[in-house]
Structure 1
Amino acid sequence: MELKTIGLETYLGENHILKGLDIDVEKKEFVGIIGPNGSGKSTFLKCIYRVLKPHKGTIFLDEKNIKDFSIKETSKKMAVVSQHNNYNFDFTVGEMVLMGRSPHKKIIEKDNKKDYEIMEESLEKVGMKDYVKRSFSTLSGGEKQRIILARALAQKTEFLILDEPTNHLDIKYQLQFMSTVKSLGITVVAAIHDLNMAALYCDKIYAMKSGEIVRCGTPKEVLTKNIIRTLYEVEVKVIEDEETGILNIVYKPIVK
C-alpha cells in the first residue's frame, strides 16, 4: 500500500492545524511522524483514516483518491492502533480481535471458521494466543495494546496507522510492540513521541511543527541536534552506535 498527500490543510474552529502537508509513503515503508504536542501529528493521521475531513488537499491510496473509497472499503485497506483503548463492555480477548473482521462482513453476518482462524493467527503473531478467553478489561496496558494490534491484524490490511500507541507503556512493551509491527513487512505510518524509538524502527521520518513539515529524511538526516532544537527547544547529544549505526538521543537538562 502506498500513501500520498498533496497540500493537506485542516482547520479546527478558527485554528489552522495542518498547513499544506505533502507526504509520500512507499510500499512497506515504516514512516514516523515526530513533533511537539500540538504540531498536528494526530490530526494528520485522523485525516488519513477518515475521522476528520481535510478542508483542502488530496489523499491518495495506491494512486486512487481516498474519496473514491467507501468507509468500509477504507477499513479493508488500512487498520488503526491508537493510544487510548477503554471499553465500557466486558469483551473477551477473542471477541475484541474478531471485531477486526467487521469490514469483511455483511450486516448481522456471523463469524465463520475462517474468521476464527484469522483471530487465532493474529493473537499468535502478538504472543497472546493463550489469552483468547480472558476478559479484555483484566489485562495490563501492554497486554491490551497487543490485543488491539491483533485486532488490527485481523483486518488483513497492508497498511497500518499507529497514533502514539506506546506512550503509556513501559520500555519492555514498547520494544515488544514496535518489533512486532516492524516484523509484519507492511506499510506503517506512526506518530511517535519517543525519538529513540523513531531512530530504532523508522525507515523515514517526517518532522512536524505548527502544522508544517520542517524536514523529511532518514533518521540520521532528521534526528540531528539542530532539528531537535528547532522542534522541541531542547539541547541534545546524538550518538551513533559504531556497530549498528543506530542513533541514541541523549537529552541535556534545561538550565534556568
Structure 2
Amino acid sequence: MDLRLDALSVVTDGRSLVRDLSLGVAHGQVVGLVGPNGSGKSTALRCVYRALRPSSGTVRVGERDLTRLPLRDSARTVAAMTQDGGVDFDFTVEEVVALGRAPHLRGNQALSRRERELCASVMDRLDIRHLAHRGVLTLSGGERQRVLLARALVQEPEILVLDEPTNHLDVRHQVELLSMLRGSGLTVLVVLHDLNLAAAACDRLGVLSHGRLVASGTPAEVLTTRLVADVFGVRASVVAHPLTGDPQLLYSLDPTR
C-alpha cells in the first residue's frame, strides 16, 4: 500500500514545525527522512501514526485519508516504532511483543495458535527469543529497541513507520535491522541520523531543513557535498561503497578543509 503526505503542515504554539511537506512512499519502498535536529522529521512521522493531527494537508494510505479511518483500522494498517515508545511497566518481553496484536483482538481475547507462532517467529528474526521471559525494564537500550520493533512487526501492518530505530543498537544489529527492512516487502518510512546507513538502506531519501523538504530522490541524487554542507553544516567527500556502490560520506573534522 502506498503512503502519501500531501502538503502537510504542523503549527504548534505559533511555531511552524512542518511546512507544506509533500512526500510519497510507494508500495514496498523504504524511504528515509534525514535532516538536522529540529528539522521536523519526528513531527511528520507523528502525523502518520496519528499521535498528532496536521494543521493542514493530508496523510493518505492508498486512496484513503488516514484521519478518516477508524482508529482500529488505521492501527491495523500503520505500525510505529517511536523514540518515546518505551514500556513503563515491567512486562516480560513476550508480553510486550504480544501487545502488537491488540488491534486485531476484541477485549480480553486470547492469542490464537497462529498469533503465538507469529510472535515467536518475529522474536527469532530479531534475536530476542532468548529474552522472552525477561522483564523489559531489565534490558539494555539496544535489546529494548528490538523488542519494540518486534511489537510493531507482529501487528502485521502494511505500512511501517520508524523513528531512529538504530539508536542504541550495536553495528551488527543495525545492519541486520536495516537489511530486514529492505527485505520486508512493507512500505517503510524511517527517520535516520546516520547518512551512510540511510544511503545503504533506503530506496529514496527526503531531506528536511527548518520544516521544509529541500531535496528528494535516490541517495546518489540527494547526498552531495553541497547539500551536506548547506543543510548539515559539515564538509564531506562522497565516495562509492566498494561492495555496493552506495554513496558514503567521509567527514572532515577540520572546518577549513
Give the structure-1-normalised TM-score: 0.95
- Alignment partners' CA distance in 1, 2:122 and 2:170: 23
- Alignment partners' CA distance in 2, 1:119 and 1:167: 23
Correspondences of 1:144-159 after superposition (within 5 Å): 144-159=144-159
Identical amino acids, percent of aligned pairs? 36
- Alignment partners' CA distance in 2, 1:145 and 1:32: 18
- Give the conservation status (yes or no) of the 8 Å contact 1:161–1:190: yes
2:18 aligned with 1:18, yes or no? yes
- Give the conservation status (yes or no) of the 8 Å contact 1:100–1:155: yes
Shift of 1:111: 2.6
2:188 aligned with 1:188, yes or no? yes
Shift of 1:186: 1.1
Q: Which moved more, 1:177-186 or 1:57-66?
A: 177-186
Shift of 1:242: 4.4
The 3 A distance-change label for structure 1 pair 228 and 26 is: same
- Give the conservation status (yes or no) of the 8 Å contact 1:83–1:166: no
- Alignment partners' CA distance in 2, 1:238 and 1:147: 35
Correspondences of 1:1-256 after superposition (within 5 Å): 1-255=1-255
Q: Please tell me the residue identity of whatever aligns with 1:61.
A: V
- Alignment partners' CA distance in 1, 2:242 and 2:175: 21
- Give the conservation status (yes or no) of the 8 Å contact 1:10–1:17: yes
Shift of 1:120: 0.9
- Alignment partners' CA distance in 2, 1:67 and 1:253: 45
- Root-mean-square deviation (CA, aligned residues, Å) is 1.5
Q: Which moved more, 1:94-103 or 1:180-189?
A: 180-189
Give the structure-2-normalised TM-score: 0.94
Please list every run of 5 or more consecutive structure 2 residues that lacks an aligned counterpart in the other structure. Answer: none
- Alignment partners' CA distance in 2, 1:85 and 1:16: 24
Shift of 1:166: 1.5
Please list every run of 5 or more consecutive structure 1 residues that lacks an aligned counterpart in the other structure. Answer: none
Task: Determine helix, strand or coil for the equivalent of 2:102.
Answer: helix
- Alignment partners' CA distance in 2, 1:59 and 1:84: 22
- Alignment partners' CA distance in 2, 1:37 and 1:112: 43
